[in-house]
Structure 1
Amino acid sequence: MLKVIVPYQAHYHDKLVGIWHRAVVQTHTFLTEQDIEFYHQMVRSGALGQVEIWIEIEEDQEPVGFIGLDGSKIEMLFVDPKYHGRGTGRRLIEHTKALKGDNLQVDVNEQNTGAYVFYERLGFIWTGRSELDASGRPFPLLHLEFKGSGIEAP
């Protein structure tokens, strides 16, 4: 099925919030239900409007994943769990590199080893660590930067 990457459009907001929620429930198993609801409220009430969003959509115009950018920093990357492992995240990263160049940064939760492995495979390296997340909560972040190569798409 053909997929394309398009800029954010407001009519996708609720679907992106749904993708965010499904992905977080599946991949952020270290969060409690209360933690997820705290972040879910932030995403529902405006976090998507604070970053540059690009969405991968299918032929039927349904979004399957999205990336949020602040300059060359990846602030969020979420893919609907039923599309995990199908290249959506990699394509969104490649799209970002085409837009912003190779000087990309991203923070990942230390407990989210799947995200760390994903970025490492794409050529990101560890550059630092913070004890708290951006909301001041005790979820350590690993700071990563793109340093080239990584695994190329087949």
Structure 2
Amino acid sequence: MPIRRATPKDIPLLVEIWERAVRATHYFLAEDDIDFFRPLIQDSYLPSLETWISVSDDNQPVGFIALTQSCVDMLFIEPARHGQGYGKRLLHHAFTLYGHLTVDVNEQNNAATGFYLAQGFIITGRSDIDSQGKPYPILHLRQQV
């Protein structure tokens, strides 16, 4: 499971991975929310964040992690690849770069919360709204291991 730094030409594919993963895990989002976030992901977030891609054995991107130093801003894996170690490997890569990590997770995304707790994160706080002011509660987590 090699990991490589993302380039600008990777962004369209990463947006596709993001959207498929969101549709598979963020059941609480409305279509309007996905439409709202898509251009932010493509035009603002991914171009400005430190992004690393996990690739399959046939060199195809299957997931990515986007960071602001030790803060995990995004971690998304192709739904068909969930549970195969790609997310864990990307987190480990980020840990080797920055040490203990932090992440915010939608409270309604039980799978993501469970994943991070299994990776040694603890919940340190909660917000009633997300960073865009939308009514999606956010859990704040910090890595302990």
TM-score, normalized by the shorter chain, greater than 0.5: yes
Letter in 2 for 1:93: L
2:8 and 2:47 in contact (8 A); partners too: no
The answer to whether structure 1 residue 122 and structure 2 residue 119 are counterparts is yes
Percent of aligned positions that are identical: 46
Deviations 1:93-141 (A, max 9, x none): 0001111112x10000000011000000000000000111111111110
Structure 1 gaps of 5+ residues are 149-154
Q: Which residue of 2 aligns with 1:86?
A: 84
1:1-154 residue pairs with structure 2 within 5 A?
3-102=1-100, 104-148=101-145
Distance (Å, rounded) in 1 between the aligned partners of 2:115 and 2:40: 25
Gaps of 5+ in 2: none
* 2: CA distance, partners of 1:14 / 1:61: 17
Give the TM-score of the pair, scaled to structure 2: 0.97
SS of 1:36's partner is helix
What's the C-alpha RMSD, in Å, of the aligned pairs? 0.9
**Aligned counterparts of 1:87 and 1:58: Cα–Cα separation in 2:** 11
Whole-angstrom distance in 2 between the partners of 1:96 and 1:45: 23
Normalised by the length of structure 1, the TM-score is: 0.91
Runs of 4+ aligned structure 1 residues displaced above 3 Å come to none
Q: Which residue of 2 aligns with 1:151?
A: none
Q: Is the 8 A contact 2:15 2:42 kept in 1?
A: yes
Instruction: Tell me, yes or no, if the aligned pair for 2:129 and 2:138 is still in contact at 8 Å.
Output: yes
Alignment: residue pair count: 145
Distance apart, 1:44 and its partner CA: 2.0
